[in-house]
Structure formats: structure tokens, C-alpha cells
Amino acid sequence: MKTSLIETQQLEAYLLNRAGEETSLLEARLLLESELRDKLYWQQKTYGLVHEFGRRKLKAELDTIHQKLFSESNYAGFRQKILSLFSKS
């Protein structure tokens, strides 16, 4: 199952809704070619995994920042300002 760069780019454009005039042609090919459907499926899965990895990495970075800002004494002034914004005054 060899994938050409052009085919990969066409599938990417399709997945990102940037296929333009080629959309109809690619959709027709997807109906007729099971191998192309498989490639589209796996490319979509890969994008999903990359997206999920990015979300988890960002969450971990934000958790690290949160821990630093709300536990280290040199950020006490900042912590008080933030907590005052959410207090029931």
C-alpha cells in the first residue's frame, strides 16, 4: 500500500476542507477505490492522534505553570490578585 506525496496532499486538503474544485473528484474516487478510503481513514486517525497528543502536552505545560504560580512564594502577590478576582466580595 504505497502512498504518493500528491495523494497524501490531496487527502490532507480534503480533510481540512481545502480541496476546492478537487472535492467532487476525490469523493468519487473514494467511492470507487477502497484503498484510497483506507488511506483517508488512517490519515484522519493520525491527525486525531497528533491533535490529542498536542492537547495532552499543552495541558501538562499548563499544569506545570499552575503549580509554579500557586505554590512558589515569589508568586504570592500574583496568587493573591488572582484569588481576589474570584472571591465573593
Predicted TM-score (pTM) of the model is: 0.69
Please count the other Cβ atoms lying within 10 Å of the Cβ belonging to residue 43.
17
The total domain count for the chain is: 1
Q: Which domain holds residue 71?
A: 5-85
pLDDT value at position 2?
Answer: 60
pLDDT value at position 19?
Answer: 85
pLDDT value at position 58?
Answer: 97
pLDDT value at position 30?
Answer: 96
Using CA atoms, how far apart are residues 37 and 54, in angstroms rounded to an integer?
26
pLDDT value at position 87?
Answer: 85
Along the chain (89 residues), what's the average pLDDT of each consecutive run of 10 residues? 82 92 93 96 96 97 93 91 85
Asked whether 43 and 11 are in contact (CB, 8 A), the reply is: yes
pLDDT value at position 28?
Answer: 96
